[in-house]
Structure formats: structure tokens, C-alpha cells
Structure 1
Amino acid sequence: MPGESSTTQAAQTQRRKESHNLTEQKRRQRINDKIAELKHILPTVGGESTSDKQAPDKATILSDAIEFIRKLHSDVKEVTARKSELERLNAMLVEENKQLKKAASA
């Protein structure tokens, strides 16, 4: 019947729209959950403690997360450089120790 076909199509369209809306709502909720998680794991948000009364907006949380990650990358580079320097110094001291032991036993 011609009337059934258009009704069926309209129902299918409505189901697809509802399914899409639900999927989009779940996606937004996942994003919001992850932003909230970031807020709680960052040491500070917006230059203030995360326990302050006014909640920071999402853009502030994301900006602070980016800043924090950049700082961590910088810290890792500094620590890596310091580690390399200490390893080099340690190797020199080990060699000097060997030479002193050799001289003492001679």
C-alpha cells in the first residue's frame, strides 16, 4: 500500500534520527567525563587550586592540561639531560677510581 510505505519511511527516518541523537549525546557525555577527569588530575586549573568554589570552564581546563603537558615534556628533557651528565660524570669517577686503586697497589 502506498500509505504504508511513506509511514514506514517516516518511522525509519525518525528511528535513525533518534539513534543519531543518542549516539551524539553519548559522545558529548564521554567528552565531558574526560574533561572532568582532567580537572581532577591537574594540580591546578586556571592558576587556582581545583578545590576553589568557582568551577573552571572547559576551555580553561583544556588549556591548563596543554600547559601542564608541555611543562612535563620540558621537565623530562631537563631530567634526561641531567641524567646523561651524571652518567658521564659517574663513568669518569669510576675510571679515576680504577686508576687510583691501580696506583695504590703498585
Structure 2
Amino acid sequence: LTATDLIQPYLFAADIPDGAVVLDCREPQHYEAWCWPGAERWDPVDLAERFPALDKTRRYILYCTLGLHSGYLAEAMQRAGYEAYSFKGGVRGLQAYAQSRGIPVATLQAR
């Protein structure tokens, strides 16, 4: 796989831009424990089957525990013409990003 194989020249995102739709691809119990504010939880299998119904004009940032499922799904979405990225580093990367922006991890939408 090379950059020319992808719709976007890169697969991973290191930030969450304003207006992006954030998709949490983790197990329900992890999502219930906490998620990025406003994140929508999607089962990875369901997302793989149903992402074609999502709005192609939006930007999507996906994350999962390690970044494996979200990387695979972001690549599939890119190949289908979506602007989709996997958050670099999975949940740990997301937590570091949150802390660098002054968002305490404990306040990440505790449920």
C-alpha cells in the first residue's frame, strides 16, 4: 500500500478539527466508560457495512483502542471517497491530545 493507493495522502490524524465527526470504534463497555465529547459509537463490523450511508461532505476522525480497526475502516472510507482518518495512537494518543489541549482525560464525557 502506498500513498497513491489512498484517496488522501495520509491515513492518520493527530488532531480533531472543528466540525469533524468523531466515530468511536471500541467495545460498548469502553465507550460507556468514556468517549471523546460528541463521539458516536459504531461497531466496527456495522461501520464497515454501513458507512456508505454517511455524508460524504463531512470529515471523519475514527478511533479505537490501538488504532487497528479505525485504521482499516478509515482506509476503506478513503477508498470510497470519504475524508476519513484514524486518530494516531488510538485511545492513548487521543488522551495525550486531550491533555495537550487542556482537556482533563477524566472529563472526556464520563458516562
- Shorter-chain TM-score bucket reads under 0.3
Q: Which has the higher strand share?
A: 2
Could you tell me the TM-score, scaled by structure 1's length? 0.22
Larger Rg: 1
Greater relative contact order (Cα < 8 A, sep 6+): 2
Could you tell me the TM-score, scaled by structure 2's length? 0.21
Q: Which has the higher helix share?
A: 1
